[in-house]
Homo-oligomer: A and B are copies of this chain.
Amino acid sequence: MAVTIKDVARAAGVSAATVTRALSNPEVVRPSTRDRVKEIAASLGYHPNRAARGLITGRTGNLGLLVPDLGNPFFPSIVKGVQARAHEADHAVFLADTDEDPAAEAGLVRKLAKQVDGVLLCSPRMAEAELRDLAAEVPVVLLYRRIPGVPSVTAEFLDGMRQAVSHLVALGHRRVAYVAGPRSSWANRERLRSLRTVAKGKVQLVETGNVAPQFEGGVSVADRVLAEQVTAVIAYNDLVALGLLHRFAARGVDVPGDISVLGFDDIPLSAMVHPALTTVALPKELAGQAGVDLLLRRQHKERRELPTQLMVRGSTGPA
């Protein structure tokens, strides 16, 4: 059926040990033998059985990636980055989508744990204690979340918010609404904290409550935002901002004439709508790549904080 190392060994007239050496430790085998083995292996289409290899080396060559919702375009971008980088490093990627169900996450990770060398976790809502337990069981790198002692990749939220607020201030906005995301989300807490810090003394902040981090969340809160008499609104993320835009358009509210809208994430979609969404771009593919690097280099203490970038588009204008 499948071609095994023995088939190659027999065809090359050497032992299995020599085959494995020729392929994964080439310098220890005589060049003539090595070349012959390699050639025969290639012609037979031999690839080592990774399960068997993993059994003895303890390393699987796989890694796991957990995301809360592929429906949010933020995450496919991360997946792309992880995927690409992992393949460069000759690793395969297990993907799990938890469908925004934090309860299921830990279980999923534990099931994957045996089959992977490490796990990348996009888990804004999982309890911190749970996360810490997990990190003790299997190498973990957190994506867009920070917990002391656990390696992580995040972005400079504070700087991003500063860019956003400066932009609005420059346009003359003095009273700005913030539509928050899920209260339990780390990213939400972080964004809110950053925003409060940078808003202090510069703009008056109106918090309009928490919504689901989705398009519908933005739609549902849009009318409340309008009632607040603000000249600009910052949304938890782009999806929520798009929900706002949608409802504003439906009500005939002009953006940015009547109100400016600012998002967070810079999902591809944001450049496609009209008016295009001004937003704080977070590195996504880059974050995925950085996460893989952290995981595979096993620098367990390390942490990376990537730069953010305000993307000024059509949805913001003078107050």
Please report the C-alpha to C-alpha distance between residue A73 and residue B272 in the assembled complex, in whole angstroms.
13
As a 0/1 sequence over residues 19 to 38 of chain A, the CB contacts with chain B under 8 angstroms (1 = contact) are 00000000000000000000
| A70 surroundings in chain B (CB, below 8 A) | 76-77, 79-80, 83
**Contact indicator B272/A51 (Cβ below 8 Å):** no
Nearest B residue (CB) for A99:
B84
Tell which of B94, B108, B243, B273 touches A94, judged by Cβ atoms closer than 8 Å: B94
Segment 195-245 of A: residues with Cβ below 8 Å from B: 215, 242-243, 245
CB of A183 within 8 A of chain B? no
| A50 surroundings in chain B (CB, below 8 A) | 51, 114-115
| A136 surroundings in chain B (CB, below 8 A) | none
**Contact indicator A87/B76 (Cβ below 8 Å):** no
| A80 surroundings in chain B (CB, below 8 A) | 70-71, 97, 99
A residues neighboring B (CB under 8 Å): 2, 45, 47, 49-52, 54-55, 60, 62, 65, 70-71, 73, 75-77, 79-80, 83-84, 87, 92-97, 99, 108, 110-112, 114-115, 215, 242-243, 245-246, 249-250, 268-269, 271-274
